[in-house]
Amino acid sequence: MNAVFYTAEVLPWAEDLGDTPWPLLPVANRPLLDYWLETCAELGIGQVQVILGEGAGQVEEFAGTGSRWGVEILYSFARASEQPLDYLKATSDRWSDGLLFVGGAFFLRRRQAYKPAGFKSLDACTHLSGDRTLFLFGKTGDEVKGLLDGRLESGRGLEQIHIHPYTIDGIPAYFGLNMKLVAGEFARYLTAGFSDANSSSVGYNVLTPPSAHLRPPLIIGNDCSFGSMTTIGPKVVVADHVIVDSHTRLSNCLILQDTYIGQNLEIENKIISGNRLVSATDGTAIEIDDSWLVARNRPEMRTEDLVRYTILWFLALGVGIVQVVPFCILYPLVHLTRIGSYHREIFHDPRTGFVKLPVFQKIENRKSVVYRLFRAATLDRFPWLLLALRGRLFVCGQPPMRHPDDDEIIKQLPQYYPAVFSYADYSRDSDRLVDSLWYAHIRSLFEDVKILVKSLLYRFFRAGRR
């Protein structure tokens, strides 16, 4: 039998929980994909194909070759023109030994009577969510073909073998699943760390002072630290690398990894992921830049980023110092002769959502030596350079994206680095989306310096010719 896991679906609700791709979102401290692979191992499935989308690198890094589960994992990318079922139909000859397909955020929730051997008696079946097939199972090639072509009716489904087909269709469902598992169901799956009879599981390297109260049921991951007089539980899932400061109470909540929770707080019915606070009941999410409350305890900026930021800041300072006098002389002339001026436009901002930036616009299309000088010295970007020195923009990166014109591009960018200079400044055939994706992929100090130098030189030699 083979298995196919389709992880390319875009789930907007999962984005509120941080940068973790949804197949790796933890359910009782184990990634969702881990449960699917555990099922494959129990069924003796030899080959698993994972169809990748957003977060492909992280998914591949987690699952690797599949040797941890005793399976062989093959990876492929989803094609935008093809639905998962179209792919399965097109390659139906490959499923002659049967197929287990999972096509979205779907959890095989084991009931108490479940036994892995039950899959042998499971009739061919599908589970749908709207018009999407989330689960498909057939033991033979004919069954799989029949289900794909619609010739074969789905059987009773997973309930036949005491599995609840649980669709994770939003934050409340995701939270609810975690709470169900922490309430005792987690023992039906493989668990790490120390477990005891009263529904609690505690990972490795967990520091709990004598005054901290641990109230089961609870699940605590590895490398966690709890302050004095904290109360953890009941019904709490704490992921790896979490720090809870003193006098704080956690109950009925889910704390995702790399989170710091400040002193004297009361967390109930919430999901906390780094500095994101998410309501478990309606999915409302806020990002709090306040380390007295909640914070991400893994530094956002790596040493490499810090070095790049520092070097580019000083380069930008140098350019700014060179530009300040020419700007003070030439801009009043450009403005007074009505050749061009600045106006504010709304751009997307990675931190605040939207930001107004001054954009230089030529008013009259006539030849002017002053304007050529202004452009040649890249003085039109001087205000942006000042914003970069204040940390509001990157010096080199992707072009700032306008709202609402570039909303579609923003949706497709996994990382957004709005900057003063970008490929578009010196590449005439620049495509904003492709360039932005490429930049996010190869971002480095060398690339940034290259963009800066090429942009300044190109603008200097080409000024007024475009």
Partner 1 sequence: MVVSCSKEQGIGIIQVSHTLTAATVDTFREQLAGWQAAEPDVKNFVVDLKHVDFMDSAGLGTLIAVLKQITERGGDLKIACLQKKPRMVFEITRAYKVFEIYDTVDEALNFFD
Binding site for partner 1 (CB under 8 A): 262, 264-268, 270, 277, 279, 284, 286, 288-290, 292-294
CB half-sphere exposure, 143, CA atoms < 13 A: 18
Q: Nearest approach, Cβ of 10 to partner 1 (angstroms)?
A: 24
Q: Nearest approach, Cβ of 291 to partner 1 (angstroms)?
A: 9
Q: Nearest approach, Cβ of 237 to partner 1 (angstroms)?
A: 17
Q: Nearest approach, Cβ of 345 to partner 1 (angstroms)?
A: 22
Residue whose C-alpha is closest to residue 70's, from 41, 31, 95: 41
Given the complex with partner 1, which of 171 and 377 has the nearer CB atom?
Answer: 171
Q: Nearest approach, Cβ of 294 to partner 1 (angstroms)?
A: 8
Given the complex with partner 1, which of 97 and 287 has the nearer CB atom?
Answer: 287
Q: Nearest approach, Cβ of 218 to partner 1 (angstroms)?
A: 19
Q: Nearest approach, Cβ of 268 to partner 1 (angstroms)?
A: 7
Given the complex with partner 1, which of 164 and 247 has the nearer CB atom?
Answer: 247
Helices and strands (H, E) in the chain, number of each type: 12, 31
CA angle 107, 99, 80 (to 5 degrees): 75
CA distances 296 to 194, 287, 314, 395, Å, are 26, 11, 28, 25
Alpha carbon distance 144, 89 (integer Å): 9
Q: Nearest approach, Cβ of 244 to partner 1 (angstroms)?
A: 12
Beta bridge mates, 244:
226, 261
Q: Nearest approach, Cβ of 418 to partner 1 (angstroms)?
A: 21
Alpha carbon distance 325, 327 (integer Å): 5
CA angle 12, 17, 23 (to 5 degrees): 70
Reduced to 3 states (helix: H, G, I; strand: E, B; else coil), residue 89 is: helix
Residue 237 phi, psi dihedral angles, 5° rounding? -115, 115
Alpha carbon distance 73, 62 (integer Å): 11
Given the complex with partner 1, which of 73 and 250 has the nearer CB atom?
Answer: 250
For residues 189 and 38, the answer to whether their CB atoms sit within 8 Å is yes
Given the complex with partner 1, which of 293 and 370 has the nearer CB atom?
Answer: 293
**Residue 65: its H or E element:** none
Q: Nearest approach, Cβ of 15 to partner 1 (angstroms)?
A: 17
Given the complex with partner 1, which of 13 and 106 has the nearer CB atom?
Answer: 13
For residues 165 and 127, the answer to whether their CB atoms sit within 8 Å is yes
List, in sequence order, every beta strand (DSSP E) within 185-230: 194-196, 200-202, 206-207, 213-214, 218-220, 224-226
Q: Helix 303-336 vs helix 445-462: angle between axes, to the nearest 10 degrees?
A: 20
For residues 286 and 31, the answer to whether their CB atoms sit within 8 Å is no
Given the complex with partner 1, which of 153 and 266 has the nearer CB atom?
Answer: 266
Given the complex with partner 1, which of 108 and 265 has the nearer CB atom?
Answer: 265
Q: Nearest approach, Cβ of 292 to partner 1 (angstroms)?
A: 4
Beta-carbon contacts of residue 315 (< 8 Å; ≥ 6 apart): 395, 449, 452
Given the complex with partner 1, which of 198 and 281 has the nearer CB atom?
Answer: 281
DSSP state of 103: -
Given the complex with partner 1, which of 41 and 277 has the nearer CB atom?
Answer: 277
Given the complex with partner 1, which of 264 and 310 has the nearer CB atom?
Answer: 264
